[in-house]
Amino acid sequence: MAPFKSQNMSLNSFVTPDGGEFGRAQAVQADAARVAPTVEMNPILLKPEAERRSQVVVMGKPLRVASAREYYEMKLELWPVVTDALDTLRANYDIVVIEGAGSPAEINLKEHEIVNMRVARYANASVVLVGDIDRGGVFASLAGTMLLLEPEEQALIKAIVINKFRGDPSLLDSGLDMLLERTGVPTIGVVPYYTDIHIPEEDSLGIAPNEQSAGETVLEVAVIRLPHMANFDDFDPLRQEPGVQVRYVSSRAEFGTPDLIVLPGSKTTVDDLLWLTESGLADAIKKSRTEGLPVIGICGGYQMLGRRVLDPDGVESSRAEVEGLGLLPVDTTFEGDKATHQVKGTVNLKQGLLEGYGGGEVVGYEIHMGRSSGEADSSLFNISERSGHATDTRDGAADVEGLTLGTYMHGLFHNHSLRRTMLLNLAQRKGVTLPEGAALDLDAEYDKLAEHIRENVDMDVIYQMAGLK
């Protein structure tokens, strides 16, 4: 079985083993299905750079930056890319589960639609219409969607599922009966809202700004919530550590007194760096670091921690040079080619946050446009493998104390031994005891979600739709 979403708009992306970039959500779905991720699972990825402009990634490689209207006009040209990708998956897998995007009844965009009912019609797929009741108006949304679909599209809708319900599901009975009368489509499940299953969220709407730790909080991590924050699931392992509270900070007033500051990835490093300065958070970070507070930057956050960000060719910004926070001895220059790799390596640092883990293994993935360079002896990691090929290169940087770290490696905190070493060193510096923490078992979380669905959805209908019964 393989997942498929023809077009995804997200700043959360992942890298396939051969270096193709696609949506992080489809990578998680592939992982849950126990299959290798490929770019065919998400042939078109839109990465917003501004309110009306996105980088268009096609079959794993950046194609161009386009405005909303420009992309709208491109969509039908990209339709063969969608069908070729879907045909490839259907040829290689017994079942392909297709996910739509937004609403299948966006009638103002229907002429150039390439992700919802056009795909379902192409594949002659049986469709489950899912409504999110947590946001309200679910009955009007479901009935209105059916009303706005064409007759041949309505015929493909075989079942309805209501998601994220809180309370007694029997209270929905009269509404479900009326929905069946109005649409002719049965509701086969009401899925309760859950908070105890830990799978990466698809977008930043899933971020809890001040999520409490399990038990007593002994360490507090402040993640700077940049306007164009990317790959925020980097911090899921920290959020799930007992005794660790992760706070997302978007203003100087929210900064507080954390034990660790993290600057995340960004799709627009220059714009977010300027925002960081204007918001007062840049001064707060620099002041805190002079007072001994550790700071970590990942990808765009790493670039911001350096001395300068240079963009002489206007790859990302109209500014040729912007001053960084000056906490790491590196300069970053933007280049036209995007680096997308899965990487493996070892830790080059023996002091500070990673004391006791020198030479330890680390794995992750890179997605970035810039190249950072500085003092060779300040590198953070020795990289031994990139996109499956042996290499002998360096990544990242650290200051002399080992308390300011920067890396291009997403997935850093998913390395259990590295993460625990870092947290234990933080706890020792603070004079507190960190509770025991187990490595996150994603397979177990997938199984919990699967059981949650089985308990609340008539799976016999789903199996029949998939041709399994």
Token look-up 């993460």 returns 419
CA distance 386 to 62: 19
Q: How many CA atoms lie within 13 A of 290 on its CB side?
A: 7
Q: Examine the residue annotation and report whether 410 is marked as an active-site residue of this protein.
A: yes
Strands of 73-150, DSSP E: 96-98, 127-132
Beta-strand relationship, 219-224 and 260-263: parallel
d(CA 290, CA 327) in angstroms, rounded, equals 10
210-211 β-sheet, strand order: 210-211, 244-249, 219-224, 260-263, 295-298, 404-407, 397-398
Q: Are 40 and 85 in contact (CB under 8 A)?
A: yes
CA distance 387 to 366: 10
How wide is the angle at C-alpha 27 spanned by C-alphas 24 and 33, nearest 5°? 145
What are the backbone angles phi and psi of residue 363, rounded to the nearest 5°? -130, 155
The distance from CA 382 to its chain's CA centroid, rounded to whole angstroms, is 26
- Hey, is 122 helix, strand or coil? helix
Which residues neighbour 321 within 8 Å (Cβ) at sequence distance 6 or greater? 308, 309, 310, 311
Write down the catalytic residue from 299, 341, 368, 414: 299
Residues designated catalytic? 299, 410
